[in-house]
Structure 1
Amino acid sequence: MPKAYVFSRFGGPETESFADLPRPVPGAGQLLVAVRAAGVNPVDWKRRTGYVQANAPAVELPAVLGGEVAGVVEQVGDGVEGYAVGDAVFGNPLTGGYAEYTLLPVASTAHKPAGVSWADAATLPVAVATAYDGVQQLDLPAGSTLLINGVGGGVGSAAAQIATHRGLRVVGTASAAKKEFVESLGVVHVESGPGVADRVRAAAPEGVDAVFDLVGGDSLEEVAALLADPATLISGPDKVNVVKLGGSTVARKRNTEVLDAVAQLVAEGALDPFVTRTFPFEQAGQALRTVEEGHTRGKVVIEVSR
């Protein structure tokens, strides 16, 4: 039977193991995909600990890890149009991504452009698509100044590239250690930490038109004070405080249109997902440890050999 990397109960890394699972069968509106690459994200290990996202379905154990994949269509479910066996696709799996086979719902699946690698495609459905949704939601005109609070992470670096591609000036907060990386994105770096609002004012004396927050907590409250209109504040991680401050959460669309858009940006060379480490499927646990322990910059991908 096909292999998958699962967690059998909520807890730490000791709950993880490889398992032989039946090959999934696609239902109506679904694709069976032979996985070529799977993105690794912090939400993967958080889900293993028992962290539950809003509106997320209940977890059935053992559960396959991973929320984004790229691969080849092996079987097409009833009612599916626009996809055929052999197509290269990517999206958000229904049955986990750290696996030899998984199911993709066509509503959140897209064709992989030929010029986009398997590894790059596998990193687009979570962090990059979140970044795209946030920038779209703010809908700032060219020439506006966007502050990205926490620009050094996966969502932040993607949002910066998408924003600059649209003609926005981007100011971003990140640690001093990430200054060189942040500036390589064409972003004005501001060191994070207490007093960050004053440092942003010094870096952008004309003010900022919107804030895309990826940190939350006290940092969110401090940068929110920079805005004349709190409606131009959005946050990914802090869904409670952003609303109290008059802003909004990032409205995720999770659809083919967004996936097509971000893949096209990669194909055009306007967006780099920054895949910095890849691991063979047999080292799926090590790949997740790398993300969980914070030992890497950029995206980590698991590659499944065929």
Structure 2
Amino acid sequence: MPKAYVFTRYGGPETEALTDVARPSPGPGQLLVAVRAAGVNPVDWKLRTGYRRPGESGERVFPAVFGSEAAGVVEEVGAGVTGFAVGDAVFGNTVDGAYAEYALLAAAVTAHKPAGLSFTDAATLPVAAATAYDGIRQLGLAEGATLLVTGAGGGVGAAAVQIARAFGVRVVGVASEQKKDFVASLGAVHVAGGPDLADRVRATVPGGVDAVFDLVGDRTLAEAAALLADRTKLITAAAPPATVAELGGSRVVRARTAAVLDAVAALVLRGALDPHITRTFPLDLAEEALRTVEDGHALGKIVIEVAA
């Protein structure tokens, strides 16, 4: 039986296990993929604690496989799926987990992997890079505008900085002092996070910022909001809809289309977007990979490499 890294109930790391699971069978609109690589994201461990994504409903079935993004090779094609065939190299959003030898992908949110893009790089794009791309497009900033990105040292933040820069936008990146050099390497002006953030941003950018892309939430979101005259230019992927609405902003609106995946892949191929994969782990060390992200010390992206 194929292997998968799962959580058996809501809770902490004690609920996790590498175990045998039944090989999935693709339903209508789905692809069965032999996973080559799976991206690791903060939402993975948050779902283990019982967190639900905005708009998500229904009860989770346990054991639940970790992960939301994967790259691999098509093994089976579900009913009604066109444009994909067995043997195609693909990447996309998984239906019910990615840290596994086999995963189901929704064909509508799956793209063909370009030959010049590695499976490892491709596996980082469906969640972090696509979220960043959707957010930057949602803000619709003109070339030369100034964008503040909070949480600029993480997976989504690093992608947002680079995508904004590719669109000609100036970026101020908020991150810890330990991530200063990394944020600067992305092309952003670094500002340290923490209390009195707004004052530090004003001192660094006397002309002010035109928009905020928040990836931290809580007090950081509130302080960043205070920098904007136009709160419609405040978006977050970290705070609940009601919280950001009270501040006059909104959640990032996810497109969730293959076209977005094609777009971010093209940015990687032309050198405008580096996934910045800082560590990779085999599937049997998935626990260590997840702890690296959950502890909050990861720079860029962490990937689980399932097969060569």
| Structure-1-length-normalised TM-score | 0.97
1:157-180 Cα deviation digits (max 9, x unpaired): 100000000001111111112111
Q: How far apart are 1:58 and its partner, in Å? A: 2.5
Partner-residue secondary structure (3-state), 1:222: helix
Q: Which residue number in structure 2 is paired with residue 180 of structure 1?
A: 181
Q: CA, structure 1 residues 247+296, in 2 after alignment: closer, same or farther (shift >3 Å)?
A: closer
Match of 1:262 in 2: 264
**1:78 & 1:70 partners in 2: Cα distance?**
21
Q: What's the CA shift string for 1:15-62, capped at 9, x where partnerless? A: 111222221111111111000001111111111122222222421011
Question: Residue 302 of structure 1 aligns with which residue?
Answer: 304
After TM superposition, the structure 1 stretch with the greater mean CA deviation from structure 2, 146-155 or 81-90, is 146-155
Task: State percent identity of aligned pairs.
Answer: 65
In structure 2, the CA distance between the partners of 1:296 and 1:227, relative to structure 1 (3 Å rule), is closer
Report the equivalent of 2:69: 68
Task: Decide whether aligned partners of structure 1 residues 164 and 295 sit closer, same or farther in structure 2, where only a CA change above 3 A counts.
Answer: closer
CA distance in 1: counterparts of 2:23 and 2:287, whole angstroms: 21
By how many angstroms is 1:5 displaced?
1.3
Deviation at 1:296, TM superposition (A): 2.9
Distance 1:95 1:253 in 2: 19
Matched, 1:35 2:35: yes
Decide whether the 8 Å contact of 2:3 with 2:20 is kept in 1. yes
Pair 1:80-2:81 in alignment:
yes
Partner amino acid, structure 2, of 1:82: G
Asked whether the 8 Å contact 2:32–2:105 carries over to 1, the reply is yes
- Letter in structure 1 aligned against 2:290: L
Distance 1:131 1:296 in 2: 18
Distance 2:207 2:222 in 1: 20
Q: What are structure 1's unaligned runs of at least 5 residues? A: none
- Give the whole-Å Cα distance in 1 for the aligned partners of 2:299 and 2:95: 27
Question: Which stretches of structure 1, 4 residues or longer, exceed 4 Å deviation after superposition?
Answer: none
Give unmatched runs, 5+ long, in structure 2: none
Query: SS in structure 2 opposite 1:106?
Result: strand
Displacement after TM superposition at 1:140 (Å): 0.5
Find the partner of 1:283 among 254, 278, 285: 285
2:145 corresponds in structure 1 to 144
Q: State how far apart, in whole Å, the 1-side matches of 2:224 and 2:51 are.
A: 27
Contact kept in structure 1, 2:35 and 2:103, CA below 8 Å: yes
The Cα RMSD (Å) is: 1.3
Q: If the length of structure 2 is used for normalisation, what is the TM-score?
A: 0.96
Which residue of structure 1 lines up, in the alignment, with residue 47 of structure 2? 47
Cα deviation, residue 295, structure 1:
4.2
SS of equivalent to 2:278: strand
Partner secondary structure for residue 98 of structure 1: coil
Is contact 2:158-2:300 (8 Å) kept? no
1:6, 1:99 → 2: CA distance? 9
Cα deviations by residue, 1:116-153 (Å, 9 ceiling, x for unpaired):
11111111111111111100000111111111122111
Preserved CA contact (<8 Å) 2:150 2:175: yes
Matches within 5 A, 1:177-216: 177-216=178-217
Structure 2: which amino acid aligns with 1:272? Answer: D
The aligned counterpart of 2:59 is 58
Matches within 5 A, 1:108-147: 108-147=109-148
- Matches of 1:238 and 1:305 in 2, distance apart? 35
Question: Does structure 1 retain, via aligned residues, the 8 Å contact 2:28–2:80?
Answer: yes
Instruction: Check conservation: 2:143, 2:169, Cα contact below 8 A.
Output: yes
